[in-house]
Structure 1
Amino acid sequence: MPRARHPFPLRWNDNDQYGHVNNTVYYQAMDTAVNTWMIREAGLDPAGAVRGYCVASSCEFRAPVSYPDDDLEVAIGVERLGTTSITWDLPILRSGDEKPVAEGRFTHVFVDAATQRPVPVPASIRSAVEQQLLTPAA
């Protein structure tokens, strides 16, 4: 599966009392990576008429990382492109590495900002996902 990679440099306060990156930081990394990609590559306007709301998220932790030894990257892929939603496949890796230290998922449902009701994935986002993140059918 094609993937965009988003850097996520760690900070001093990302470590918890056990000396490794706290689990909440992984969710921040995933959320930042996906939304940055949608804004830059697919024209998402976070204050626009259509918004992507996270309705589900998960993360499985494979190996500890810590500041200042590691910086992270989120590899952005798509597990499922639906009518009104996208489920993102988001391995988190040490910069330049290919083995995930964590494996995350986010599901965004797109909604009309005024009615809060689901709407189709915006055409610009669907097109960018199809062109950049989905493997072409053989």
Structure 2
Amino acid sequence: MNSRAPAERRAAFRWFTGVTLRWNDIDIFGHVNNARYYEFFDTTVLGFLHTRDLGIGTERAAMVVAENGCRFHREIVFADRLEMGLRVEHIGTSSARYGLAAFVNDDEEASASGHFVHVFVDQQTKRPKPFPTPVREHLESILVAA
């Protein structure tokens, strides 16, 4: 019996961005090193957040990563064309959980999928605080109902 969840499908995601693989993303085994996926996740989330001027990374909007994880389905190699899918799975008062997936060569099934949790914090105290309305509205634009 296989209890492993199946690979995510492209249709489950609301926002996509291409990622250019670099030679240093590849490890000694000839595929993308597992640690690079977390960089892809971070770049994807920040890329989406920066499609609007929300002040992310300034005194107006500071966010920290509280949790992340990744599940691998098949390897990605240097010659692959990589596209990252993103959705928001949950929005709380001060945190958001994103679902992410790596798709290669127009495949419908993800090569890897994962999650990423951001917490909105006060720039001075670093304590959680509620999302400003513009940030919440932007996150809601790719929210997928549970």
Structure 2: distance between partners of 1:72 and 1:44: 28
| 2-structure distance, mates of 1:26, 1:136 | 25
> Does the Cα contact within 8 Å between 1:42 and 1:124 map onto a contact in 2?
no
Q: Count the aligned residue pairs.
A: 135
Cα offset, 1:106, TM superposition: 0.3
Q: In structure 2, what residue type is equivalent to 1:77?
A: R
Partner of 1:60: 71
User: Hey, which of these two has a bigger chunk of strand by percent?
Assistant: 1
Distance 2:133 2:53 in 1: 9
Of 131, 138, 142, which residue of structure 2 is paired with 1:133? 142
Task: Could you tell me which runs of 5 or more consecutive residues in structure 1 were left unpaired when the two chains were aligned.
Answer: none
Q: Structure 1 residues 135, 28: CA separation in 2 closer, same or farther (over 3 Å shift)?
A: closer
Ranges of 4+ aligned residues in structure 1 off by more than 4 Å: none
Q: Percent identity?
A: 35
Task: Check if 1:97 corresponds to 2:104.
Answer: no
* 8 Å Cα contact 1:44-1:125 kept in structure 2: no
- What are the ranges of 5 or more consecutive residues in structure 2 without an aligned counterpart? 1-11
Is the 1:49–1:114 Cα contact (8 Å) retained in structure 2? no
Which residues in structure 2 correspond to 1:42-81 (within 5 Å)? 43-67=54-78, 69-81=79-91
For the 8 Å contact 1:10–1:72, the answer to whether it is kept is yes
Q: 1:112 aligns with which of 102, 122, 131?
A: 122
Q: Report SS of the residue matched to 2:45.
A: helix
* TM norm structure 2: 0.85
Cα RMSD of the aligned pairs, angstroms, is 1.8
TM-score (norm 1): 0.89
Inter-CA distance 99–2: structure 2 relative to 1 (3 Å threshold): closer
